[in-house]
């Protein structure tokens, strides 16, 4: 009762072995060319100016701005509350 339609995810063992051999051959060619996996990935990423350290600096600066604005706002709020509700000294 098979309709002849194969599941695209089910590959035969021979097809999987052939794909594995092709990948091994490509890795051997890359290693014989003197390029490791890390160098290949770095070469691909080298064209971009936005890397991990740049993003770290940007987020660090944003965090400092948020903290400084928060401190400024609470400082002003504290002084506004003191002005609205002054403490009365009765000991004099």
Domain boundaries, the chain: 11-47, 48-87
Q: 56-87 in b/e burial notation, b at 16+ Cβ within 10 A? A: eeeeeeeeeeeeeeeeeeeeeeeeeeeeeeee
Per residue in 15-63, pLDDT tens? 999 999 999 999 988 888 876 556 556 555 566 778 888 999 999 999 9
Which residue, among 43, 14, 40, 45, has the nearest Cα to 29 in the 3D structure? Answer: 40
Q: How far is CA 85 from CA 16, 53, 72, 77, 88, in A?
A: 78, 48, 20, 12, 9
Report if pTM > 0.85.
no
The predicted structure's pLDDT at residue 80: 96
C-alpha 30/C-alpha 28 separation (Å) is 5
């Amino acid at each position: 009762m098979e309709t002849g339609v194969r599941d695209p995810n089910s590959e035969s063992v021979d097809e999987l072995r052939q794909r594995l051999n092709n990948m091994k051959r490509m890795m051997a060619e890359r290693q014989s060319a003197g390029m490791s996996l890390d160098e290949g990935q770095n070469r691909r990423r080298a064209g971009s100016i936005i890397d991990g350290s740049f993003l770290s600096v940007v987020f660090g600066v944003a965090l400092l701005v948020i903290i400084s604005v928060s401190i400024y706002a609470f400082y002003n709020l504290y002084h506004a509350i003191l002005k609205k509700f002054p403490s009365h000294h009765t000991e004099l």
